[in-house]
Amino acid sequence: MKHNNQLYSVHLRKHWQERVKTWFNQPARKWRRHMNRVKKAKKVAPKPTHSLRPAIACPTRRYNYRLREGRGFTRAELAAAGLTPDYARAIGISIDPRRTNKCQESLDRNKERLKEYLSHLTVIPIRKEKREKKGLSLEGHVQYTGKILPITNKGVHEKPRLVTEEEKKFVAYQAIRRARADARLFGKREKKRKDKEEASKL
User: Can you give the pLDDT at residue 24?
Assistant: 95
% of the chain with per-residue pLDDT over 70:
100
Q: What is the pLDDT of residue 27?
A: 97
Rounded to whole angstroms, how far apart are CA atoms 76 and 140?
Answer: 35
Confidence of residue 11 (pLDDT cuts 50, 70, 90): confident
Rounded Cα distance, 102 and 70, in Å: 14
**Mean pLDDT within 9-22:** 82
- Strand partners of residue 95: 73
* pLDDT at 1 > cutoff 70: no
Q: Over the chain, what is the mean pLDDT?
A: 92
Q: What is the CA radius of gyration of the chain?
A: 31
- Residue of 144, 123, 150, 116 whose CA lies nearest to 49: 144
Distances (CA, A) of 131 to 2, 47, 51, 55: 91, 15, 23, 33
Residue 147 has what pLDDT?
A: 92
Q: What is the reported pLDDT for 9?
A: 79
**Per-residue model confidence (pLDDT) at position 190:** 95
Instruction: Give the pLDDT of residue 154.
Output: 83
Higher pLDDT, 124 or 58: 58
Q: Is the pLDDT of residue 69 over 70?
A: yes
**Sequence letter at residue 17:** Q
Are 76 and 102 a contacting pair, CB within 8 Å? no
Average pLDDT over residues 20-46: 93
In this prediction, residue 53 has a pLDDT band, given cuts at 50, 70 and 90, of very high
What band does 16 get if pLDDT is binned at 50, 70 and 90?
A: confident
State yes or no: pLDDT of 134 exceeds 80.
Answer: yes
Query: What integer is the mean pLDDT of 166-181?
Result: 96
Q: Are 109 and 117 in contact (CB under 8 A)?
A: no
